[in-house]
Amino acid sequence: MKSVEIAPLPFTRLGALIGPDRYEPLLGFADEIRRRLDGHVVWNVNATASGGGVAEMLQTLLAYASGLGVDTRWNVLDGDAEFFAITKRIHNLLHGSPGDGGDLGPAEHAHYVDVLRRNSDDFIHQLSPGDVVLLHDPQTIGMAARLKEAGVAVVFRSHIGKDEPDEFTAKAWEFLRPYIEPVDMVVVSRPSYAPPFLDVDRVRVIPPSIDPFAAKNVEIPEDRVWAVLARVGLLERPEHLEEEVGFTRRDGTPGVVRRHTDLFAAGSPLPGDSRYLLQVSRWDRLKDMPGVLTAFTDHVSDHDDTHLLLVGPAVAGVSDDPEGAEVLEECVARWHALPEDKRQRVHLVAVPMDDVDENAFIINALQRGATAVIQKSLMEGFGLTVAEAMWKGRPVLASRIGGIQDQIEDGVSGLLLDDPRDLAGMGALMQRVLEEPATAAALGAMAHARIRELFLGDRHLMQYGALIEPFLPERPHA
Ligand code: UDP
C-alpha cells in the first residue's frame, strides 16, 4: 500500500465561477464536515495513482476537498499480475463483456483475498475508529470486512456498470457479493449500475464531474485555439508556426506545447480555413471510431471545407495495447479504401501520451475548435469526453447510452442517437449541425449551462459530504 500526495487546490477559483448561491452553502457544509470529522480522516483507496478516469477524478476532487480543509488521504494498493488479471476480468464482466473468459472460482477468490489481506494488514495501522474509508472499484472492495474491524465506516465506490444487467454482470456481482456485504454504503454513477442484491437505501448515486481549471478544460481564447492547433502540427497555418504556446500544468508549473511531426496515422494537416467534426476516444472497440468514419464518409453530403478528425492516444506498440493498435489499424484500412477526395477530409490523429498535461491541453484546443463533437460509443459508463465538450459550448452528437443520457437532454443540450449502431442516423445528425449553425450554437450554449449546473466539483463534493455525514460523530456547537 502506497500513499499518494495530494496538493490542495483553492476552491475560491471555482467559487468565482459558480457564484455565491452555490459557493456559500458549500463552504458552510465543508465547515460542518470539518468540525464533525474532528481530527478523523476520509481515506480513499484505489488501484493506481495515474492513468484512467478514477485516478484523474481523485486527483482533482481530493485536491479541492483538501483545499476546503477536509483531511482526506489517498492510498494505492499493491497487487501482482495474477491479481490484476482477476480484477480486469471482473471489470470486463461488469461492462457486460466476457473479457478473457477465465474462471472466477475458489482459486481466484483465494488469490484475491490473499493480496487484499496483505494490503489491509498494512493499511489498518493507519486507521483510527471513526475514520471513513472509500474503497474504489472491485480491486479494493475485498478489504472491507477486515477494515471494519478497525471501527471505521467503509463505502464501496463502484465507477463502472451497464444499463441492462446480463449474465456477465451477474457473474461479476456473484464474485464480489461476499466482499460488498459488510460495507456501510455503496456509491454508483447511475442507479442501474448498483449491485443487484442491495436494498436501494444502501445505494447512493453520484455522477462524476469535470474541473474547469484543468489543462483539459481551461479557457483558451478562440484565436489562440487555432494557434495551438497550428503549433502542434494539426493545421496548415504557417503564420502561427513559430509562435510559442504555453499552458499551465496540473502542479501549477508552466508547460510549452511541442511541435509534433508524427501526429497523423492517416491524413495530413487541415487547411487553415476548414471546419471539423471531432471524436476523441481511446482506440477501443466500444467507442466505434470506424463507425464514426463511415457515418461521415457515407452519410454526410460532401462539403469541401468540412473535415472529420478521429483523435486518440498514440498507440505505443502492439504489445502494450493490442486492441488499441488493432482498432487504429482498422480505421487506417478504411481510410485507405476511401476515394481520394474523401481521404483529403478524414484525419486519424494519435496524440503522444508521454506528457499528459500537454496531451490534455491539445485535446482541449481540439474540442474548442470543433464545429461539433461526436461520441458514438456502443457502451459508456459516464463519458467524460461528452461533459468536456459540452463545457466548451460545443454541440455534442452522442449515443443514447449509459451516462451520456444523464448529460445530454436530446434536442436541448445536444443530440442523441437512439441506436448507437445506426450509421445513417449519425450521418443525419452530423448533416444537421453542419447545415444549421443557429441550432448548433443554441445546443452548445445549453450544453455549457447544463454542465455548469450539474457536473462541476461543488455538486460532487456536496454529495460526498452528504454521503459521509451520517457516519461522523455528532458534536455540540461550540
Ligand atoms: N483522452 C485523452 N486523450 C486521448 C483520448 C482520451 O486525454 O487521446 C481523455 C478524454 O479527454 C477523457 C478521458 O480520456 O477525459 C476518457 O474518458 P471517458 O469517460 O470519455 O472514456 P473512458 O476512456 O474512461 O472509457
Dump pLDDT digits (tens) for 462-472.
Answer: 999 999 999 99
- Cβ of 362 closer than 6 Å to ligand 1, yes or no, is no
**SS3 for the chain, per residue?**
CEEECCCCCCCHHHHHHHCHHHHHHHHHHHHHHHHHHCCCCEEEEECCCCCCHHHHHHHHHHHHHHHCCCCEEEEECCCCHHHHHHHHHHHHHHCCCCCCCCCCCHHHHHHHHHHHHHHHHHHHCCCCCCCEEEEECHHHHCCHHHHHCCCCEEEEECCCCCCCCCHHHHHHHHHHHHHHCCCCEEEECCHHHCCCCCCHHHEEECCCCECCCCCCCCCCCHHHHHHHHHHHCCEECHHHCCCCCEEECCCCCEEECCCCCCCEEECCCEECCCEEEEEECCCCHHHCHHHHHHHHHHHCCCCCCEEEEEEEECCCCCCCCHHHHHHHHHHHHHHHCCCHHHHCCEEEEEECCCCHHHHHHHHHHHHHHCCEEEECCCCCCCCHHHHHHHHCCCCEEEECCCCHHHHCCCCCCCEEECCCCCHHHHHHHHHHHHHCHHHHHHHHHHHHHHHHHHCEHHHHHHHHHHHHHHHCCCCCCC
CA of 458 to the centre of ligand 1 (A): 22
Per the CB < 8 A criterion, the answer to whether 248 and 218 are in contact is: yes
Q: Separation of 73 CA from ligand 1 center, angstroms?
A: 25
* Mean of all residue pLDDT scores within the chain: 93
Cα 101 to Cα 158, 286, 452, distances in angstroms: 22, 18, 41
Percent of the chain with pLDDT over 70: 97
Average pLDDT over residues 374-392: 95
What value does the mean pLDDT take over residues 31-52?
92
- Does 94 sit in the ligand 1 pocket, CB within 6 Å? no
Q: Whose CA is nearest to atom 23 of ligand 1?
A: 282
At a CB cut-off of 8 Å and minimum separation 6, what does 376 contact? 279, 287, 288, 291, 292, 295, 397, 398, 399, 417, 420, 426
Which is it for the CA torsion 338, 344, 346, 348, positive or negative?
A: positive
Left, alpha or beta for 96 (phi > 0: left; psi -120 to 50: alpha)?
left
Q: Please give the average per-residue pLDDT across 22-39, as a whole number.
A: 95
Nearest CA to ligand 1 atom 6: 281
160 has a pLDDT exceeding 80 = yes
Alpha carbon of 360 to ligand 1 centroid (Å): 9
51 CB within 6 A, ligand 1:
no
Residue 318 scores a pLDDT above 60: no
Ligand 1 near 387 CB (within 6 A): no
| pLDDT of amino acid 351 | 95
Is the minimum distance from the CB of 263 to ligand 1 under 6 angstroms?
no
Average pLDDT over residues 190-208: 96
- Distance from Cα 160 to the centre of ligand 1, integer Å: 15
> Does 282 sit in the ligand 1 pocket, CB within 6 Å?
yes
- Grid cell, residue 290, equals 470506424
Mean pLDDT of 426-446: 97
What's the mean pLDDT in 161-173?
94
Q: What is the reported pLDDT for 478?
A: 46
> What is the rounded distance in angstroms from the CA atom of residue 42 to the CA atom of residue 387?
27
Residue 198 Cβ contacting ligand 1 at under 6 Å: no
Residue 280, pLDDT score: 97
The whole-number pLDDT of residue 475 equals: 63
For residue 123, the CA-to-ligand 1 centroid distance in Å is: 31
CA dist., res. 361 & res. 367, Å (int): 10
Question: Atom 21, ligand 1: which residue's CA is nearest?
Answer: 383
pLDDT-derived band at 121 (thresholds 50, 70, 90) equals very high
Which contacts (CB < 8 Å, 24+ apart) does range 377-380 have? 377/281, 377/286, 377/287, 377/288, 377/401, 377/402, 377/404, 377/420, 378/285, 378/286, 378/287, 378/288, 378/420, 378/421, 379/95, 379/96, 379/162, 379/286, 380/286, 380/404
More confident residue, 223 or 82: 82
Tell me: pLDDT of 241 over 90: no
Q: Is 382 in the pocket of ligand 1 (CB under 6 A)?
A: yes
Amino acid 316: pLDDT: 72
255 has which bridge partners? 247
Distance 369 CA to ligand 1 centre (A): 17
